[in-house]
Amino acid sequence: MSAAQTDTEKAAGTSDGGSTEEAVNIIMIGMAGSGKTTLMQRINAYLHERKTAPYIVNLDPAVSKVPFQANIDIRDTVDYKQVMTEYNLGPNGGILTSLNLFTTKLDQVMDIVDKRAGDHKYFLYDTPGQIEIFTWSASGAIISNTLAATRPTVVVYVVDTPRTASPATFMSNMMYACSILYKTQLPFVLAFNKTDVVSHEFALRWMEDFEQFQQALMRQEEERFMNSLIHSMSLVLDEFYNNLRVVGVSAMTGQGMDEFFKKIQEAVTEYHDEFKPTLQRQIEQKQAAEREQKAEQLKQLMQDLSVTEGKEVDL
């Protein structure tokens, strides 16, 4: 890296054209309408401007139009409407079944993606707006675990900031984010989107200072009946906030993108420091268990053989 490299270049890993540095997976998750697809397009444009085009994978079978050219598109593999008709499913069942069908071909998809790992710094994955279909399904878990096993993988949870400005909605959204973090156990960036409409400052204040959040709650007379529940939940969330990476962005105007990539780099560091050693330990434990199982099977086989041949074998 040259001494003249800017923070933005360092953050986005773009000063060398993006081809020699370690590739990173970014999984975009967020409620319908939070702005995932628009943010994907903004990231795409931001990286193109820095001459490091990302590799884009669309995992939303039901999206009618995307404003970018996906390198791999689930819609090329499965026809969501046909799946609904064929299996007599509603929209959500159709999306889930399409994702399951796509996951059966994940090995082939990963082969294609891996061949491009040297050409791209960022691999972006857009997920269905019906958030639970990706985050709570077996297919979603298989996809995110497979990605995380291959290279640094970061979950970006996109929040619609203007629609989260009420304390009760804010709390629900944070609980959802928290559950996704514990479910995926991957490095996590919370992106407050649409800051061109409403700044995310209120959210930062509420996350830093419980008193301020409580005062905001008390002002909402109509929601008073929920206050004690929300009060208890916010204590639970305190720990979550402490370890959280937060950034405010506008997919529409592009504000906050430099900061966004700094947070992504911090999450990549966390992947190396915490996630990878844990994953390595799990793989080693699995391999040791498999070796033990094979040794046990072999022992059993030899005992069976010795019985057949009428010989005593001391094992």
Ligand X SMILES: Nc1nc2c(ncn2[C@@H]2O[C@H](COP(=O)(O)OP(=O)(O)OP(=O)(O)O)[C@@H](O)[C@H]2O)c(=O)[nH]1
Closest distance of CB 47 from ligand X, Å: 17
CB of 39 to ligand X, least distance (A): 6
C-beta separation of 171 from 234 below 8 A: yes
Instruction: In whole angstroms, give the CA distance from residue 90 to residue 239.
Output: 38
Alpha-carbon span 92 to 99, nearest angstrom: 11
Q: 188: which strand partners?
A: 155
| Residue 124 CB, nearest approach to ligand X (Å) | 13
Residue 93: CB partners within 8 Å, gap ≥ 6? 84, 87
Size of the site for ligand X (CB under 6 A): 17
Residue with tokens 């008193």: 211
d(C-alpha 255, C-alpha 203), whole Å = 17
Neighbours of 146 (CB within 10 A): 17
For the bound state, the minimum distance from the C-beta of residue 253 to ligand X, rounded and expressed in Å, comes to 7
Q: Please identify, using beta-carbon distances, which residue of 42 and 120 lies nearer to ligand X.
A: 42
- Least distance to ligand X from the beta carbon of 135, Å? 13
Query: By the 8 A CB rule, do 251 and 38 touch?
Result: yes
Contact 268, 21 (CB under 8 A): no
Reported residue count of the chain is 315
Is 37 an interacting residue with respect to ligand X (CB under 6 A)? yes
167 binds ligand X (CB under 6 A): no
The answer to whether 256 contacts ligand X (rule: CB under 6 A) is: no
Binds ligand X (CB under 6 A): choice among 33, 87, 105, 300: 33
When asked if residue 91 is in the footprint of ligand X (CB under 6 A), the reply is no
Is 176 within 8 Å of 237 (Cβ atoms)? no
The answer for residues whose C-beta is within 8 angstroms of residue 179's C-beta and 6 or more apart is 135
Pick the stretch among 27-35, 98-106, 137-145, 274-282 that binds ligand X (CB under 6 A). Answer: 27-35
- Both tokens of residue 29? 């998750």
Nearer to ligand X, 150 or 255 (CB): 255
Q: Which is nearer to ligand X, 180 or 251 (by Cβ)?
A: 251
Query: Which residue minimizes CB distance to ligand X?
Result: 129
| 63, 72, 96, 267: residue in contact with ligand X (rule CB under 6 A) | 63
Closest approach of Cβ 164 to ligand X, in Å? 13
| Residue 244 CA from chain centroid, whole number | 14
Ranges within 170-209 binding ligand X (CB under 6 A): 193-194, 196-197
Among 172, 252, 279, 306, binds ligand X (CB under 6 A): 252
CB of 41 to ligand X, least distance (A): 8
Three-state SS for 214? helix
Instruction: Determine if 38 is a binding residue for ligand X (CB under 6 A).
Output: yes
Q: Which of 34, 98, 135, 164 binds ligand X (CB under 6 A)?
A: 34
Q: Which residue do the tokens 């720990």 mark?
A: 239
User: Residue 16 or residue 73: which is nearer to ligand X going by CB?
Assistant: 73
Q: Which residues bind ligand X (CB under 6 A)?
A: 30, 32-38, 63, 129, 193-194, 196-197, 250-252
